[in-house]
Structure 1
Amino acid sequence: MATIDFPDDLIELERSAWAEIQRGELTVDTARAVHDAIAAYVARDDVDATRLDVEMQLKRIVRHPETADAG
């Protein structure tokens, strides 16, 4: 799986969602915002990755930064 160069705003959105999940306070609005942002990112012409690949790498970067570069 190739490394994806995520925009900062998408990473921050996922970080917000992860923080809410850890507190047990994830809202529908936050979950929807992440979902919509990922969908918009995947739809860009310069992104050659599936939605699943994007979501998996984004979660890995946010939730497990120590292994994010380990491929």
Structure 2
Amino acid sequence: MSTIDFPGDLLALERAAWEAAQQHALTPAQAAAVQAAVTEYAAETGLPRVEVEMGLKRAVRHPEG
């Protein structure tokens, strides 16, 4: 899977959702906002949505790798 250069706003949205999930405070609205942003970014770039979602999670949760 290739490395994707995610925009800062998308990274921030996923970071906030991940932090909320870690605290068991992720809301359905917050999760839906991330999914909508992922879907929009995938459509804009022409990348598969699942590749965008997996890459974004990897970038936020495992930035060293």
Instruction: Give the TM-score category using the shorter length.
Output: over 0.9
Distance 1:48 1:42 in 2: 6
Instruction: Give the alignment's TM-score, normalised by structure 2.
Output: 0.94
Instruction: Give the alignment's TM-score, normalised by structure 1.
Output: 0.86
The ranges of structure 1 where at least 4 consecutive aligned residues each deviate by more than 4 angstroms after the TM superposition are none
Listed as ranges, the gaps of 5+ residues in structure 1 are: none
Aligned length: 65
Larger Rg: 1 or 2?
1
Root mean square deviation, CA, Å: 0.8
Q: Percent identity?
A: 52
Residues 1-71 of structure 1 mapped to structure 2, 5 A cutoff: 1-44=1-44, 47-67=45-65
